[in-house]
Structure 1
Amino acid sequence: MSSTPLSVLDLSPVPAGGTVGEALRNTIDLARRAEQFGYRRYWFAEHHFAPGVASAAPTVLIGQVAAATRHIRVGSGAVQLGHQTALTVVEQFGTLDALYPGRIDLGLGRSGQRRSEAARELAADAPPTAVEARVVDGLLIPPPFSFAKILATPRAALQAALLQQPGAQPPAFAEQVGDLLALLRGDYRDADGLDAHATPGEGADVQVWLLGSSGGESARLAGGLGLPFAANYHVSPATVLDAVRAYRTAFRPSATLAEPYVVVSADVVVASDDATARHLATPYGLWVHSIRSGRGAIPFPSPEQAAAHTWTQEDADLVADRVDTQFTGSPRTVTRQLRTLRDVTGADELLITTITHAHADRVDSYELLAKEWHG
């Protein structure tokens, strides 16, 4: 039995042969089930230009799921703040809080800022430093993967342009977060001392989080502001320990938290036995490959479709860190793996993301895990 809470991160995946409408209805069904299974939160990732992912508008989905459930917390993991203004986000989440008070989480992430960093990284033209995979107390920490080439492509530039007004440049992340918090508190002032007030939004009882994949700005800012932090093992397993270490080092007690609070994410597929779980997880590598090759997440293939795919060594290398760190197996197997992740990272909570081709298999995975985890 474990007292560590489990939560859900949902991308509203579209299966091969399915539709966006079906994916969204499956999300609402899964959220209801997750509440019954005892999960603490239900978060939505924000993804754009991905044929196989329907979670492009987290605030809309948060409202739909909050209306369909009774007590589970619902939120974003994360709003891409560089594509919106602080005021817009505060008004949206203030509206949600007014309708579903005390249940809304506002997770924030960097987006436009990362593209600028990617361009600088490529301009430096420094050869990557070779890093070997290592195992830390049973947890695999693979070599890091660089998103710089993907983020600096013409297609990524087009997508970024479509996500913001012409000529707009995202402000500094820390500045946006500061403005957002001030608007929520009701003490916003500009450089000339003029005040502004958000309605809805001011005084909203939303829980603000920062999400990050490394020991960079998001982790340090979350710590310095005394906010809870979510570290992405499922996106960037190579840097999860750097992220939680940087957050804890920077942490300063606040009105929100007296001590650091860390959620760590994990990709998971659970089935009745190890072999069945591995079979259901077969499409995962092909799906990750579609993202990392710059095409955007494809509709999630069936195991049979994935098994028919011919892999080159280059293809396999592109996704190895993600495939090797996906937790698959029976409830007992995955619970053991997740306890290792929790213990090594010191996570206070685990954020579980599960994608399978069949919706019923995804629901079963979350149910089997919850039953084993909570004993």
Structure 2
Amino acid sequence: MTRLSILDLAPIVSGATAREALRDTIDLARHADDAGYHRYWLAEHHLTPGVASSAPAVLIGAVAAATERIRVGSGAVQLGHQTALGVVEQFGTLEALHPGRIDLGLGRSGQRAKELRSAASAPPPPPVGSRVVDGLLIPPPFSFASIAGSPLFKLYASLLQQPGAESPDFADQVDDIRALLAGTYRSAEGYEAHAQPGEGADVELWILGSSGGQSAQVAGERGLPFAANYHVSPSSVLEAVEGYRDAFKPSDTLAAPHVMVSADVVVAATDEEARRIAEPYGLWVRSIRSGAGAMAYPSPREAAAHAWSDEDRALVADRLDTRFVGTPEAVADRLRVLRDATGADELLVTTITHDHADRVRSQDLLAEVWLG
């Protein structure tokens, strides 16, 4: 049986508060623990009205304390905004309190910001059409140039980093984290450093990526497990897993490549009900891709009131077309297609609805079919 796990953003819905969103996350995690999901990962997002998961290490501690069996981790720590030592100490503390249950997922957000800023001034790539590979829809790539040029995006560097700070190379940071965890860290001058808590911590280290670029290369060359983003960057998921596998070298961690792939899902008892509760997703994605940041997640009624332009629809088409919405059996069938097309060893599903009860029900219904 392919393992099934949860990615949670702690979404703030319209009419609610961050406090309520965090309370709902704890409740959803308890349901995931009871239902048999393997992992519960928390994302990291900043400066958005619609997401409360801005401090994943803190939230991981709360979720781990409220659950009993499920692994809990980050999906992913935005490594470009933190030091290797800070990350190791945070997750070493979590592992000391919840031994054998903590995952440390790392992403290159800070370093990738420079690439996105460059993309904002570069000419657009030639248009590419959709294709279907082994039954899996691969839509045209989305250009992040408009987001990279937004005022909100420009605030990130000033508020998430100290003045004048530069993000180190991602590969170097990953190597420093591995060395600090192993107790083998040496500075350029030859000095030792020993993180406490952190050194010897039994955390499961993952690399997350959206393409076959540096993240996939780092994960493969160091023999680490890799999580690929179908739910955020569906156009490049096959490139990402192929790049990882091509770069893979066996390590003490893994003898062979190990891939987890993410997907957006909404499950309900009927297709009609699933489509109804999934309706606001397009408007929410539009708020992100317009550069304003994730809005408070709208209700179906609020979404229905939005007047969609052709430009709006084009802005979110790839995310809507690759979301898995329907009955438990229908969604499970599509997840099997995703698994088989990517060769995934695990799947990571994320669900956002306005009504928390709908999100819990979606998670539970899928578990009944997938996990038995």
Length-normalised TM-score, structure 1: 0.98
Residue 57 of structure 1 is aligned with which of 46, 55, 58?
Answer: 55
After superposing the two structures, state which structure 1 stretch, 84-93 or 111-120, moved more.
Answer: 111-120
Q: Which runs of 4+ in 1 moved over 4 A?
A: none
1:304: Cα distance to partner?
1.1
Residue 369 of structure 2 is aligned with which of 354, 362, 372?
Answer: 372
1:366: Cα distance to partner?
0.4
SS of 2:5's equivalent in the other structure is strand
Letter in 1 for 2:78: Q
Query: How many correspondences in the alignment?
Result: 372
SS of 2:329's equivalent in the other structure is helix
SS of 1:350's equivalent in the other structure is strand
1:373: Cα distance to partner?
1.1
Residue in structure 1 matched with residue 283 of structure 2 by the alignment: 286
Matched, 1:102 2:91: no
Structure 1 vs Structure 2: percent identity of aligned residues? 67
Matched, 1:181 2:178: yes
Residue in structure 2 matched with residue 18 of structure 1 by the alignment: 16
Does the 8 A contact of 2:71 with 2:103 survive in 1? yes
Does the 8 A contact of 1:289 with 1:318 survive in 2? yes
For 1:333 and 1:303, locate their aligned partners in 2 and report how far apart those are by CA, in whole Å: 22
Residue 121 of structure 1 is aligned with which of 119, 122, 132?
Answer: 119
Residue 43 of structure 1 is aligned with which of 38, 41, 47?
Answer: 41
For 2:124 and 2:358, locate their aligned partners in 1 and report how far apart those are by CA, in whole Å: 43
Residue in structure 2 matched with residue 160 of structure 1 by the alignment: 157
For 1:77 and 1:138, locate their aligned partners in 2 and report how far apart those are by CA, in whole Å: 27
Residue in structure 2 matched with residue 250 of structure 1 by the alignment: 247
Residue in structure 1 matched with residue 326 of structure 2 by the alignment: 329
Letter in 2 for 1:168: A
Letter in 1 for 2:325: T
SS of 2:252's equivalent in the other structure is coil
Matched, 1:222 2:223: no
Matched, 1:302 2:306: no
Letter in 1 for 2:7: L
Does the 8 A contact of 2:152 with 2:293 survive in 1? no
Residue in structure 2 matched with residue 91 of structure 1 by the alignment: 89
Does the 8 A contact of 1:115 with 1:152 survive in 2? no
After superposing the two structures, state which structure 1 stretch, 148-157 or 9-18, moved more.
Answer: 148-157
1:119: Cα distance to partner?
2.5
Residue in structure 2 matched with residue 193 of structure 1 by the alignment: 190
SS of 1:117's equivalent in the other structure is helix
1:374: Cα distance to partner?
2.3
After superposing the two structures, state which structure 1 stretch, 101-110 or 154-163, moved more.
Answer: 154-163
Residue in structure 2 matched with residue 341 of structure 1 by the alignment: 338
For 2:63 and 2:51, locate their aligned partners in 1 and report how far apart those are by CA, in whole Å: 17
For 2:264 and 2:124, locate their aligned partners in 1 and report how far apart those are by CA, in whole Å: 30
Residue 312 of structure 2 is aligned with which of 310, 315, 325?
Answer: 315
Letter in 1 for 2:15: G
1:127: Cα distance to partner?
3.2
Letter in 1 for 2:96: A
Letter in 1 for 2:30: R
Does the 8 A contact of 2:141 with 2:233 survive in 1? yes
1:48: Cα distance to partner?
0.4
SS of 1:267's equivalent in the other structure is strand
Letter in 1 for 2:75: G
Does the 8 A contact of 1:118 with 1:149 survive in 2? no
For 2:222 and 2:268, locate their aligned partners in 1 and report how far apart those are by CA, in whole Å: 40
Does the 8 A contact of 1:47 with 1:55 survive in 2? yes
Residue in structure 1 matched with residue 139 of structure 2 by the alignment: 142
Residue in structure 2 matched with residue 7 of structure 1 by the alignment: 5
After superposing the two structures, state which structure 1 stretch, 153-162 or 235-244, moved more.
Answer: 153-162
1:332: Cα distance to partner?
0.8
SS of 2:154's equivalent in the other structure is helix
SS of 2:132's equivalent in the other structure is strand
Are the structure 2 counterparts of residues 122 and 304 from structure 1 closer, same or farther at C-alpha, using a change threshold of 3 Å?
closer
Aligned-pair Cα RMSD in Å: 0.9
For 2:281 and 2:124, locate their aligned partners in 1 and report how far apart those are by CA, in whole Å: 29
Deviation string 1:193-231 (CA, Å, 9 cap, x unpaired) is 111111110010000000000111000110000000000
Letter in 2 for 1:222: A
For 2:145 and 2:116, locate their aligned partners in 1 and report how far apart those are by CA, in whole Å: 4
After superposing the two structures, state which structure 1 stretch, 233-242 or 187-196, moved more.
Answer: 187-196
Residue 351 of structure 1 is aligned with which of 326, 348, 355?
Answer: 348
Deviation string 1:57-81 (CA, Å, 9 cap, x unpaired) is 0001100010001110000000000
For 2:215 and 2:130, locate their aligned partners in 1 and report how far apart those are by CA, in whole Å: 25
Does the 8 A contact of 1:262 with 1:348 survive in 2? yes
Letter in 1 for 2:8: D
After superposing the two structures, state which structure 1 stretch, 347-356 or 141-150, moved more.
Answer: 141-150
Structure 2 unaligned segments of length 5 or more: list them. Answer: none
Residue in structure 1 matched with residue 73 of structure 2 by the alignment: 75
